[in-house]
Amino acid sequence: MLQMAGVRRQFVKAAMAARFLERDEERALAESWRHRGDEHALHELAAAHMRLVIALAARFRHYGLPIADLIQEGHVGLLEAAARFEPEREVRFSTYATWWIRASIQDYILRNWSIVRGGTSSAQKALFFNLRRLRAKLSREGGPESNASMFQTIALAIGVSPADVELMDTRLSGPDVSLNAPVTDGDSTGQTERVEFLVDDKPLPDETVGEQIDGDRRIVWLREALGVLTERELKIVRERRLAEDAATLEALGSRLGISKERVRQIENRAMEKLRRALSDRTEADAARALVALAV
């Protein structure tokens, strides 16, 4: 550990000691790398801007991630900037590279700060990285007293909903807790994990399969039983018992050209036929099959 810390200090010291590049020299190195693939030019250009990477990485040190990792990710962003930089646009490389360095560091933080993925949109990223700063600013200026008012103010400033601000504030207020973390009651011999306290209300797999098999069997029985009905009886049963929106006796009678009382009589007769057709099944099985018809 001490050796790693020493290497890191030497790296930072070397980066800070690297000489600044003049505008023309910077452009010449960028052109050499872009047009001729000169890796020596790339190395010199990157080394001269590592102090920029370190400075930007230091701004994000409060997110609990190793500063060495932030610098490494910033270096990736620096190399990406070098690959995309167009010297002919007359823009200083440091100005262009700043965006790529910061974006690379921020993306790394969002991927590793929490096991729960967050900040997938530009607005969410802005909320993640600016929430604490805006809260502190509002507090110093004597802003809204209630959290709801503060969330509303921050939401308007960033362009997200107050619910998003409240959710992000909750996430930033505490660390992740692993479901495999032990829960103790003072007795070190009786440790259990948090996941053991999660309750699943869904039926067991064997119950689900059993219910599915029984359901398929009842469907077959019903189809066989429906075969004993006449065409008109079958139509009435389907309209009254099997349709998602059951037809009224009056509407069905109007369509069939009979009275609603006659529809009721035919329906009752059809249901009695179905009961008799299912009588060779066990009483419990027949009752469960008829449930589908809302008997």
HSE toward the beta carbon, residue 145, CA cutoff 13 A: 0
pLDDT at 285 over 60: no
pLDDT greater at residue 11 or residue 43: 43
Whole-prediction pTM = 0.52
Fold of 11-113: Four Helix Bundle (Hemerythrin (Met), subunit A) (1.20.120)
pLDDT digits (tens, 9 = 90+) for 250-272: 888 888 889 989 989 998 998 88
pLDDT at position 292 is 55
Please give the average per-residue pLDDT across 39-45, as a whole number. 90
The domain spans of the chain are 11-113, 117-175, 205-291
Average the pLDDT over each of 21-35, 57-71, 174-188 and give the range with the smallest value: 174-188
Q: Are 277 and 225 in contact (CB under 8 A)?
A: yes
Q: What are phi and psi of 89, to 5 degrees?
A: -80, -5
Residue 78 burial (C-beta neighbours within 10 Å; 0-12, 13-18, 19+): buried
pLDDT at position 2 is 46
pLDDT at 224 over 90: no
Please give the average per-residue pLDDT across 10-38, as a whole number. 83
Unique residue bearing structure tokens 């600016």: 130
pLDDT digits (tens, 9 = 90+) for 120-153: 667 777 777 777 777 777 777 776 667 778 788 8
pLDDT at position 190 is 57
Residue 294 backbone zone (phi > 0: left; psi -120 to 50: alpha; other: beta):
left
- CATH class in words for 205-291: mainly alpha
Residue 226 CA to residue 270 CA, distance in Å, equals 9
Please give the average per-residue pLDDT across 7-17, as a whole number. 71
pLDDT at 17 over 60: yes
Q: Are 274 and 293 in contact (CB under 8 A)?
A: yes
